[in-house]
Structure 1
Amino acid sequence: MKQALMTKPATIVFQEVEIPAVGANQVKLAIKKIGVCGSDIHVYHGEHPYTQFPVVQGHEIAAEVIEIGANVSSVQVGTNVTVQPQVVCGSCFPCQNGMYHVCEDLKVMGFQTTGLASEYFVIDEDKLTVLPDGLSFDEGAMIEPLAVAVHAVKRVSVIHNKNVLVIGGGPIGNLVAQTAKAYGASKVVVSELSETRLAMAKEVGLEVIDGKNEDLQEGISKHFGMQKADIIFECVGSSFTVANAINIARKGSTVVIVGVVSNLTEINMGFVQDHELQILGTAMYQSQDFDAAVDLLTEQKVEVNTLITNHVKFENYLEAYHIIEENKDKVMKVIIDVN
Structure 2
Amino acid sequence: MRAIVLTRPRRIEVAAGWPEPRPGAADVVVAVRAVGLCGSDLSVYDGTRPVPYLPWVMGHEGGGEIVAVGSAVTDRRAGQRVVVEPNYCCLACPGCRSGTTSACERRQSAGINVPGLLAERVAVPARFTWPVPATVPDEALACVEPLAVARSAVRRSDVGDGDACLVVGAGSQGLLVCQTLLAAGARAYVTDPHEGRLALAESIGAEPVDPARARGYATVFDTVGLPEAWETSQRAVATGGTVVMIGMGARPVPLSTMALARRQLVVRGSLIYDHPGDFAATLAALAADGGLAPGRVLHAETPPERAADAFAQARTAPGKSWINLTSWREDARDR
TM over 0.5: yes
- Give the aligned partner of residue 107 of structure 2: 106
1:248 to 233, 236, 239: 236
Does residue 335 of structure 1 match 2:322? yes
Aligned-residue offset at 1:53: 4.3
Aligned-residue offset at 1:4: 2.1
Unmatched segments (≥5 aa) in structure 1: 221-227
Describe the shift of the 1:243–1:53 C-alpha distance in structure 2 as closer, same or farther (beyond 3 A). farther
- Give the aligned partner of residue 247 of structure 2: 259
Structure 1 segment 27-38 matched on structure 2, within 5 A: 27-38=28-39
- Give the aligned partner of residue 134 of structure 2: 133
Greater mean deviation of Cα atoms: 164-173 or 93-102: 93-102
Unmatched segments (≥5 aa) in structure 2: 327-335
Aligned-residue offset at 1:294: 2.2
- Give the aligned partner of residue 282 of structure 1: 270
Does residue 324 of structure 1 match 2:314? yes
Letter in 1 for 2:280: D
1:296 to 272, 282, 285: 285
Letter in 2 for 1:184: G
Describe the shift of the 1:266–1:51 C-alpha distance in structure 2 as closer, same or farther (beyond 3 A). farther
Greater mean deviation of Cα atoms: 286-295 or 125-134: 286-295
TM-score normalised by structure 1 residue count: 0.89
Identity within the alignment, %: 28
Aligned-residue offset at 1:195: 1.2
8 A Cα contact 2:30 2:63, kept in partner: no
Task: Name the SS for the 1:117 alignment partner.
Answer: coil
8 A Cα contact 2:57 2:116, kept in partner: yes
Aligned length: 322
Task: Name the SS for the 2:191 alignment partner.
Answer: strand
Letter in 2 for 1:320: A
- Give the aligned partner of residue 303 of structure 2: 313
- Give the aligned partner of residue 208 of structure 2: 208
Letter in 1 for 2:90: C
Measured against aligned partners, the alpha-carbon deviations of 1:220-257 in whole angstroms (never above 9, x if no partner) come to: 4xxxxxxx311111111111222431233211111100
Measured against aligned partners, the alpha-carbon deviations of 1:156-214 in whole angstroms (never above 9, x if no partner) come to: 134333221111111111111111221222x2211122111111111111111144xxx
**How far apart, CA to CA, are the structure 1 residues paired with 2:319 and 2:53?**
26
**How far apart, CA to CA, are the structure 2 residues paired with 1:76 and 1:37?**
29
Aligned-residue offset at 1:270: 1.0
8 A Cα contact 2:65 2:79, kept in partner: yes
- Give the aligned partner of residue 195 of structure 2: 195
- Give the aligned partner of residue 23 of structure 2: 22
**How far apart, CA to CA, are the structure 2 residues paired with 1:132 and 1:142?**
14
Greater mean deviation of Cα atoms: 57-66 or 281-290: 281-290
Letter in 2 for 1:306: R
Cα RMSD of the aligned pairs, angstroms, is 1.9
TM-score normalised by structure 2 residue count: 0.90
Task: Name the SS for the 2:240 alignment partner.
Answer: coil
